[in-house]
Amino acid sequence: MTQTNSMYYIEIPESLTPAQQNMMMELEKDAFPGLGAVDEQTLVPLARYGKLILYRQQGDERPVAVCECMRDYNQPDKAYIFGYYVRSDQHGKGLGTQFLHEVLSILRDDGFHKVSLTVSEANTAAVKLYKNIGFTVNELRYGEFGDGEDRLYMEKIL
């Protein structure tokens, strides 16, 4: 556990209990309704073999924000952010920016030199957040997650 300030802290679990898996799946459904939120078949390997970073608030049993990361196999010094979200009841508090700075610091400390992600162009709040933190759009990937599921591919040098 890493303390970031008096209210929030970072947790990086190496495994998830069944209760934690269920909680995480509910958070995923809330964050990505109808868009293929991840299930235990993805969460367990992410926690064990990738990096699941949770932003926690003192006294709250559920994370207020989540980042799911993995190493880019073709470029081992690049991390890929598989999923990033702030719980819907925590929007508008600046937590997305605060947490993303923490995530980038962790990735830098882990030896990564670059980070990438994909985001729906329609998710204007997320696109704005990523651009404000220094991500640049490298391409538009048509049908990235199926027909009509286009994504902006963004990168940032750490």
Could you tell me if residue 92 is inside a domain? Answer: yes
SS (H, E, C) the chain: CEECCCCEEEECCCCCCHHHHHHHHHHHHHHCCCCCCCCHHHHHHHHHHCEEEEEEECCCCCCCEEEEEEECCCCCCEEEEEEEEECHHHCCCCHHHHHHHHHHHHHHHCCCCEEEEEECCCCHHHHHHHHHCCCEEEEEECCECECCCCEEEEEEEC
Could you tell me if residue 43 is inside a domain? Answer: yes
The Cα–Cα gap between 43 and 50 comes to 10
Could you tell me if residue 60 is inside a domain? Answer: yes
Whether 62 has a pLDDT exceeding 80, the answer reads yes
Q: Which residue has the higher pLDDT, 40 or 76?
A: 76
Number of neighbours of residue 150 by Cβ within 10 angstroms: 16
Indicate the number of domains in the chain: 1
Could you tell me if residue 148 is inside a domain? Answer: no
Could you tell me if residue 94 is inside a domain? Answer: yes
Could you tell me if residue 44 is inside a domain? Answer: yes
At residue 4 the predicted structure's pLDDT band, cuts being 50, 70 and 90, is low
What's the CATH code of the domain at 70?
A: 3.40.630.30
SS (H, E, C) 87-125: CHHHCCCCHHHHHHHHHHHHHHHCCCCEEEEEECCCCHH
pLDDT of 108 reads: 98
Distances (CA, A) of 90 to 9, 55, 115: 15, 11, 25
Q: Which residue has the higher pLDDT, 94 or 41?
A: 94
Least confident window among 2-16, 58-72, 116-130? 2-16
Containing structural domain, residue 9 = 2-117
- Residue 6: φ, ψ to 5°: -65, -20
